[in-house]
Amino acid sequence: MSDEKAALQNLVNSLYLHESTVTRLDVILRAESSDFDEGLQEIVELLPPGTYQRQRLCDQLNSSLKGHGWTRKYGTVD
């Protein structure tokens, strides 16, 4: 798996390592600290405000990836 494809999955894994829910701000701040490229950062910033359990966050991220046609470049998350 390429670094780009692993980046979002690593983000999700790290967010839920010790938490069962995260906020949009948690996700954005973690992505910023991970030095995501512009495309990945844009995907993260498309998240609507709210609190996310893992599956809901993955669904939201995957929906944005598919909507922008970026699943080939960045993959999907689970």
Provide the residue ranges of all domains of the chain, joining segments of one domain with +. Answer: 3-67
Where the chain has pLDDT below 70, the residues are 1-2
Phi first, then psi: give them for residue 53, nearest 5 degrees: -85, 165
Phi first, then psi: give them for residue 2, nearest 5 degrees: -70, 165
**Residue-level pLDDT at 1:** 57
pTM for the full predicted model: 0.92
Residue 22's DSSP bridge partners are: 52
